[in-house]
Amino acid sequence: MPTTRSPRQTVKKVLPLILATAIFMQMLDSTILNTSLPSIARDLNESPLNMQNAIISYVLTLAVFMPASGFLADRFGTRKVFIFALVLFSLGSIFCALSQNLTHLVISRVIQGVGGSLMTPVGKLALIKTFNRNELLKAMNFAIVPALIGPVLGPLVGGYMVDYLSWHWIFLINIPIGVLGIVLGLKYMPNYNSRETDFDLKGFLIFAAASLLLSISLELFGDMQNITPVLLVFILGFLFLYYYYHHAKRGNNPIFPLNLFQVRTFRVGIIGNLATRLGISSVPLLLPLMIQIAYGESAVISGWVIAPMALTAMFGKSSVIRILNKYGYKRTLMVNTFIIGILICCLSIPDIHTSIFWFVPVIAILGFFNSIQFTSMNTISIADLRNFQTSSGNSLISVNQQLAIGFGIAFGLIVLKIYENSPELIQHETHNAFRYTFLTVGILTILSSLVFRRLHTFDGRNMKSAE
């Protein structure tokens, strides 16, 4: 006689799949635009170098709204918030496909970003509350597989859709995945909530204002005709950060407690993450742009050149524990950051007559070391946090990571525009502007390795694990 599965067993079977659909959409959407920007720019009558807002607006919205996800889930229930997030993300995708100009696209990406900032954290929260501790790792590993596949498929899918269909399909592909997530979520997602909801709304708004203003100042710097408004916005952003500092000092339950920064490894991890990603984050955007703009190749070709970065990242994840156990965090992060900087500098070597496939081995090796870098930085950041600090610390790490990606993309394109506006320096060759940009961000990344000198040799030893 066949055994019937209990409702709880069914939920445990389906819930990782529901979270996987959310993660897949988010990871695909974070990378699919990189190879598609030149095509979208042509259709919207924009320069490809002015299209960064379409990426940065999404990343920044993720960073701003992520801290509110836990509070909203506790207040309204995990199922309601998760379904709302999926609906919002899918609607944002439709609006992106219907965009008639860059402003429409940016607004639509913000709507997508609000949905994305809620759906993955709330899905993870439901998973954590459903599974026992001894079951959680297996369930989470299944759910995050799309996080590894998404960055591989993103550039390729984006390239093929742009070349053989139209750029609108890179957004419309989200709709069937979103509908699947909504149907499964309505049926199987548990609706956990909590009556004891305590959220630092004032601190959230102050921190969000600071993040927005600092990001806007970077945007203005890229297109500035007059430096005065740029400086005013930049100073205002720092004033809001200072205001948050005083708020957190006085508040009973600030969204990001200041005692986190008293932990040296957390402080180094956060600063190191921000500094190294200024160079690293610009590469997945700048390289496809160079291949299409300077070399005149198709979006598909640029997708195939960039895809190995995500594939080799998987091998990096499988090696990082062994490397950290052998060399420790300080030596690993200092040497690894230096190697990444050298590899980025190597992207500046080929001239316009060199085959673009020269980039493939460099980008593949870079993906391996990037994976080690991100895992090491994230784990050393939480290595010495106490239990009561872990939740807010993890949240701030996620926010800092998204802000660093946005700042990195903006910084890379600012440097590119500076070189492009110096025709004598680049000898009137756009390709040389890209070469000098890679050299600049590579050197910056090498210098950022010095941040990790603040670590001690034995830092992170409590994070070591058996292979």
**Which pLDDT score, from 0 to 100, does residue 446 have?**
93
Which helix (H) or strand (E) is 109 found in, with range?
A: helix 102-130
Classified as helix, coil or strand, 259 is: helix
Token duo for residue 134: 């001894």
Q: C-alpha 447: how far from its chain's center? A: 22
Neighbours of 259 (CB within 10 A): 16
Q: What angle do CA 285, 289, 293 make, to 5 degrees?
A: 175
Give the span between the Cα atoms of 378 and 122, in whole angstroms.
Answer: 20
Token duo for residue 38: 């030149």
Cβ neighbours for 335, distance < 8 A, ≥ 6 positions apart: 327, 449
Residue 1 confidence (pLDDT) above 60: no
Top-ranked range on mean pLDDT: pick from 41-50, 85-94, 296-305, 393-402: 85-94
Residue 339 confidence (pLDDT) above 90: yes
**Contact (CB, 8 A) for 341 and 445:** yes
**Contact (CB, 8 A) for 174 and 95:** no
- Bin 464: left if φ > 0, else alpha if -120 < ψ < 50, else beta: beta
**Contact (CB, 8 A) for 146 and 123:** no
Which helix (H) or strand (E) is 358 found in, with range?
A: none
Lowest mean pLDDT among 21-35, 103-117, 357-371: 21-35
**Contact (CB, 8 A) for 29 and 112:** yes
Q: What residue spans of 165-298 are helical by DSSP H?
A: 169-172, 174-188, 201-222, 227-250, 264-280, 283-293
**Contact (CB, 8 A) for 124 and 213:** no
Top-ranked range on mean pLDDT: pick from 45-59, 135-149, 288-302, 340-354: 340-354
Q: State pLDDT tens for residues 163-180.
A: 778 888 888 888 888 888
DSSP string, 294-348: TS---HHHHHHHHTHHHHHHHHHHHHHHHHHHHHHHHHHHHHHHHHHHHHHHHTT
Q: Per this entry, what is the length of the chain?
A: 467
Amino acid 206 reads I
Tell me which residue of 112, 130, 118 sits closest to 56, measured CA to CA: 112
**Which pLDDT score, from 0 to 100, does residue 388 have?**
67
Residue 156 confidence (pLDDT) above 80: no
Across the chain, mean pLDDT equals 80
Q: How confident is the model at residue 252 (pLDDT cuts 50, 70, 90)?
A: confident
Residue 466 confidence (pLDDT) above 70: no
End-to-end CA distance of the chain: 42
Give the span between the Cα atoms of 155 and 80, in whole angstroms.
Answer: 32
- What is the widest separation between alpha-carbon atoms in the chain? 82
Tell me which residue of 154, 460, 199, 233 sits closest to 333, measured CA to CA: 460
**Contact (CB, 8 A) for 152 and 310:** yes
Amino acid 137 reads L
Tell me which residue of 405, 89, 125 sits closest to 277, measured CA to CA: 405
Give the span between the Cα atoms of 432 and 142, in whole angstroms.
Answer: 44
**Which pLDDT score, from 0 to 100, does residue 95 have?**
92
Tell me which residue of 362, 347, 356, 354 sits closest to 308, measured CA to CA: 362
pTM of the model: 0.80
Q: How confident is the model at residue 285 (pLDDT cuts 50, 70, 90)?
A: confident
Classified as helix, coil or strand, 263 is: coil
Q: How confident is the model at residue 231 (pLDDT cuts 50, 70, 90)?
A: confident
**Contact (CB, 8 A) for 86 and 115:** yes
Instruction: Give the mean pLDDT of 315-334.
Output: 82
User: What DSSP designation does 352 have?
Assistant: T
Give the span between the Cα atoms of 134 and 178, in whole angstroms.
Answer: 30
